[in-house]
């Protein structure tokens, strides 16, 4: 089954994302900020990265740029979690190399639908 790296500084969001995706059979690893995610990503490989944007230490935009600069993450789908209001964040995410975004707030069904869309 596909493996997913879920990055968010909010524990409740991480729990929700992990619970939903694990329930659907995905293999989920959590990271609580970009810095941690980058370290984990370097020593493992994932089929999909889902990351929040606003995080301490390293934000999701920087994480996306960093991941894209790694050969093994050149084509890996990366989704950013963004609020509807921050259109500029979606664009910033895209410019950094993100595949797409999931608009917050989302419910487990929406999350799963999006993930399925990306992972096929």
Q: Write the CB contacts of 26 (distance below 8 Å, at least 6 apart in sequence).
A: 1, 2, 3, 4, 115
25/88 with CB nearer another protein: 88
Cα 89 to the center of its chain, rounded Å: 14
- State which of residues 28, 50, 55, 61 lies at the interface with another protein (CB under 8 A): 55
Tokens of 91: 């664009």
Measured distance CA(39)–CA(67) in Å, rounded: 10
Contact between 77 and another protein by CB under 8 A: the answer reads: yes
Distance in Å from the first CA to the final CA of the chain? 12
Gyration radius of the chain over CA positions: 13
19: helix, coil or strand?
helix
- Residue 1, CB half-sphere, CA atoms under 13 Å: how many? 11
Query: CB of 27: closest distance to another protein in angstroms?
Result: 18
3/36 with CB nearer another protein: 36
Contact between 81 and another protein by CB under 8 A: the answer reads: yes
Query: CB of 44: closest distance to another protein in angstroms?
Result: 17
Site for another protein in 85-104 (CB under 8 A): 85-88, 91, 94, 97-101, 104
Name the site residues for another protein (rule: CB under 8 A): 9-13, 15-16, 19, 32-33, 35-36, 52, 54-57, 68, 74-78, 81, 83-88, 91, 94, 97-101, 104-108, 117-118, 120
């Amino acid at each position: 089954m596909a493996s997913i790296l879920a990055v968010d500084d909010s524990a409740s969001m991480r729990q929700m994302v992990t619970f939903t995706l694990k329930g659907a059979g995905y293999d989920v690893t959590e990271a609580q900020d970009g810095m941690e995610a980058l370290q984990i990503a370097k020593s493992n490989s994932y089929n999909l990265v889902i990351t929040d944007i606003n995080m301490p230490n390293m934000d999701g935009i920087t994480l996306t740029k960093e991941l894209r600069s790694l050969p093994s993450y050149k084509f890996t789908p990366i989704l950013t979690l963004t609020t509807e209001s921050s259109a500029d964040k979606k664009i910033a995410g895209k410019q950094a190399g993100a595949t797409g975004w999931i608009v917050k707030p989302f419910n487990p069904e929406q999350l799963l639908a999006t993930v399925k869309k990306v992972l096929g």
